[in-house]
Amino acid sequence: MPALKSTPAAKSAAKSDAATAAAPAAVKAKGKAKAAAKTAARPNKVADKLARLGLKTPADLALHLPMRYEDETQVVPIAEAGFMGGSVAQVEGVVTSCDVQFRPRRQLVVTIADDSGPLVMRFLNFYGSQTKQLAEGTRIRARGEVRHGFFGVEMVHPAYKVINEGAPLPTALTPVYPAGEGLSQTILRKAVNDALFQLDWHDTLPESLRASLGLMPFEQAVRLLHNPPADVDERALEERSHPAWIRMKFDELLAQQLSLKRAQLARRNKGAPPLTVNGDLSSRLLQALPFQLTPAQRRVLDEIRADLRQPYPMQRLLQGDVGSGKTVVAALAAAQAIDSGYQAVLMAPTEILAEQHFHKIAAWLEPLGVPVAWLTGSLKKKEKLEALADIASGHARLVIGTHALIQEGVEFEALGLVVVDEQHRFGVGQRLALRNKGLTDVPAGDGTNAENGQGNVADTATVPHQLMMSATPIPRTLAMTYYADLEVSVIDQLPPGRTPIVTRVVDQNRREEVITRVHAAALEGRQAYWVCPLIEESEALQLQTATDTHAALQAALPDLRVGLVHGRLKPAEKQAVMDAFIRGEMHVLVATTVIEVGVDVPNASLMVIEHAERFGLSQLHQLRGRVGRGAAASVCLLLYQAPLGHVAKQRLMTMRETTDGFEIARRDLEIRGPGEFLGARQSGQALLRFADLETDQWLVEKARDTAAMLLQNDPPTVTRHLARWLGDKEEFLKV
């Protein structure tokens, strides 16, 4: 090994390198107490930051797997790197010059050289201390994208390290971890490495099971992923098809399946009031409806009715495309609860939608002698107190409202059924809170809940039945994983007499033609929605745009009545506008996305959406679903501002090609991936980190079968596996 060159710069560089590596030793010299306080404070701060990423235990850290790797195992001569323009290379050399230059802008320019030639490194952002660290004579290793600049071979903002001559190269690929604020790769690597020393390495799978599934041993897989040997199949690592990845994905999916299955068993062990009567009210409601149920509605109603009769809680998701007629099914389920002597509650995500449900359902039920209560945040105090009293006394048999229903002070006399409309708009916690309104403690035994590894919860409480409704269909792969605990009913048929919606994608600069079209439609007695551009960054701006659009349309269509509805209107004002539109007193309704969900005005048959490229697919589908509800042929015009990005183009094409909500959801999943599709709110902390539901479907099935087998035969393995993979995150799956 060549001797260390002893220029002053090299010394100071070597020292600074050593100082960072051996910080505790360096501070020891200055007052021990102070040093102890410092080292104690530092790791805690790191621990806090790690905790924010959910990394608390050695197992958490060991399972914090790299997103990708960097190959620092090779150094190439600078001249050779010169031929690798555009790709990433690592070089080693000694600094020959280091200057701050001011043209074309302030930057640090450092030249290094090895035996084969020079290389220029440019730093546009730099610290003053870097000029010292990179003083002439310093030896460094730099890694970055090679390009040919005016002065020869160049790297802009390379990653670099000050080293001593002959410093050994890493023998494994360098992992790059998902990081959080204030956590450098160096800190993460160290934390993970420490964790690997502390981890209890037992394989959670019994050896015979592991072998029969053809999986790599746990320890081997984890160690390989954190420190892949230089000769590893990099492609397989990258694509996550390497056996080490397969083991991790399988373990993750198995934990998820076990947890879902356990939640399901736990639910079966809870009590619920059996709603056994389909009596007078149900049959009179059916007769009073102005239409016949479709066969699909009948089928799902039968499924729901059968569930409601059980002495354990129903947890059913009712899916049906927009306009398929879910509301009436919910009303009939409520009738069963009421017939059986219980109350029912229906929660909707917006005030407009809740109010619409209230009007519609009250119009069905009140003539049959059923008192329906209404509860939202905007009620006057006196009205609110009255409603609360009616709910608590049991006078109100059905209660309809918004989030206000889950607030404190709302108490039911005997809640038997909870219906959540547009359930994807609510968080897990909100749905749980509403369900808990119906929680009753039946005094029995010592009143504690005992749980064993098989998920047999001896529960003394009863909870109401739950019906969740959504027009956002969940693709099969997702249903199998995230919703394994739900029964699913699907209304796969629209009520008769609907004509399909024709969708056109129109350049924004043809706005005039669109306005003419709206005018013509209005003269034929049809009504139109005009949806304003979404401005996510600013509610104020969004409001401004809505007001401007309204003014512009009213000016362009002086002979028509143009209304405006947006989120800032008081609920009563909002309702007045909607009522006028429903009564046909208004030709055009300019609206923000407040009309996105559920709003039902059958005579509206033209939908214009401005800046459609800013909306997500499911939002566009929901908005479009506001038309096509009557017999008239409906049209949806998606105005866009060119040029369109790739994703926006895909979305608009999808909208033009299909009105099938399931197909749209499938493509949405493709475009966005499951994480975003569900949103963290939906899935709690349980999002899969490693497995990919599209490509790893075969593993999902394996994991599901294994989960069923283990729950049946091997509870200790279940407990061990869940402890490692879910830790304290399991609660989220139980809702």
Binding site for ligand ADP (CB under 6 A): 291-294, 297, 320, 322-328, 471, 495, 598, 600, 602, 629
- 602 residue type, one letter: P
Residue entry with tokens 């209107």: 569
Nearer to ligand ADP, 259 or 327 (CB): 327
Q: Is the peptide bond before 104 cis (omega within 30 degrees of 0)?
A: yes
Among 401, 464, 598, 684, binds Mg ion (CB under 5 A): 598
Nearer to Mg ion, 349 or 674 (CB): 349
Of 264, 81, 92, 67, nearest to 176 by C-alpha is 67
Choose the one of Mg ion, ligand ADP, none that binds residue 291, judging by a C-beta under 5 to 8 angstroms depending on kind: ligand ADP
DSSP 124: S
Nearer to ligand ADP, 331 or 388 (CB): 331
Please report how close the Cβ of residue 420 comes to Mg ion at its closest, in angstroms: 11
- For position 416 contacting Mg ion by CB under 5 A, the verdict is no
Nearer to ligand ADP, 7 or 493 (CB): 493
Choose the one of Mg ion, ligand ADP, none that binds residue 322, judging by a C-beta under 5 to 8 angstroms depending on kind: ligand ADP
Residue nearest Mg ion by beta-carbon distance: 598
Strand ranges inside 353-464, DSSP E = 372-375, 398-401, 415-420, 440-441, 461-462
329 contacts 491 by C-beta, under 8 angstroms = yes
Nearer to ligand ADP, 135 or 286 (CB): 286
Please report how close the Cβ of residue 582 comes to ligand ADP at its closest, in angstroms: 11
Choose the one of ligand ADP, Mg ion, none that binds residue 533, judging by a C-beta under 5 to 8 angstroms depending on kind: none
Please report how close the Cβ of residue 444 comes to ligand ADP at its closest, in angstroms: 40
Report the run of H or E that residue 608 belongs to, with start and end: strand 604-609
Residues 6+ apart with CB under 8 A from 657: none
- 308 residue type, one letter: L
Nearer to Mg ion, 154 or 321 (CB): 321
Please report how close the Cβ of residue 181 comes to Mg ion at its closest, in angstroms: 40
Please report how close the Cβ of residue 304 comes to ligand ADP at its closest, in angstroms: 14
Please report how close the Cβ of residue 368 comes to ligand ADP at its closest, in angstroms: 17
Convert 551-596 into a string of H (helix), E (strand) and C (coil).
HHHHHHCCCCCEEEECCCCCHHHHHHHHHHHHCCCCCEEEECHHHC
336 contacts 278 by C-beta, under 8 angstroms = yes
Residues 6+ apart with CB under 8 A from 481: 253, 256, 257, 260, 688, 693, 700
Q: Report d(CA 63, CA 55) in Å as an integer.
A: 9
Please report how close the Cβ of residue 280 comes to ligand ADP at its closest, in angstroms: 22
Q: How do beta strands 635-640 and 502-507 pair? A: parallel
Residues across the chain: 735
In this structure, what are the phi and psi dihedrals at residue 695, rounded to the nearest 5 degrees? -90, -20
Please report how close the Cβ of residue 356 comes to ligand ADP at its closest, in angstroms: 8
Nearer to ligand ADP, 325 or 475 (CB): 325
Please report how close the Cβ of residue 567 comes to ligand ADP at its closest, in angstroms: 21
Q: Report d(CA 29, CA 20) in Å as an integer.
A: 15
Nearer to ligand ADP, 221 or 582 (CB): 582
Nearer to Mg ion, 98 or 594 (CB): 594
> How many residues form the binding site for Mg ion (CB under 5 A)?
1
Nearer to ligand ADP, 98 or 400 (CB): 400
Residues 6+ apart with CB under 8 A from 186: none
Q: Residue 564, by phi and psi: left (phi above 0), alpha (psi -120 to 50) or beta?
A: beta
Query: For residues 291-350, which are near Mg ion according to CB under 5 A?
Result: none
Q: Taking contact as CB under 5 A, which single stretch among the options 340-348, 363-371, 398-406, 592-600 is the one that binds Mg ion? A: 592-600
Q: How do beta strands 107-114 and 88-101 pair? A: antiparallel
**Site string (262-281) toward Mg ion, x via CB under 5 A:** --------------------
Choose the one of ligand ADP, Mg ion, none that binds residue 323, judging by a C-beta under 5 to 8 angstroms depending on kind: ligand ADP
Please report how close the Cβ of residue 326 comes to Mg ion at its closest, in angstroms: 5
Residue-by-residue DSSP string for 32-54: HHHHHHHHHHHHHHHHHHHHHTT
Residue 70: beta bridge partners?
174
Please report how close the Cβ of residue 399 comes to ligand ADP at its closest, in angstroms: 19
Residue entry with tokens 């479907």: 697
Please report how close the Cβ of residue 357 comes to Mg ion at its closest, in angstroms: 8
Nearer to ligand ADP, 106 or 583 (CB): 583
527 contacts 518 by C-beta, under 8 angstroms = no
252 contacts 205 by C-beta, under 8 angstroms = no
Nearer to Mg ion, 546 or 594 (CB): 594
Residue nearest ligand ADP by beta-carbon distance: 325
Q: Report d(CA 203, CA 720) in Å as an integer.
A: 9
Choose the one of Mg ion, ligand ADP, none that binds residue 592, judging by a C-beta under 5 to 8 angstroms depending on kind: none
Choose the one of ligand ADP, Mg ion, none that binds residue 600, judging by a C-beta under 5 to 8 angstroms depending on kind: ligand ADP
Residues that bind Mg ion (CB under 5 A): 598
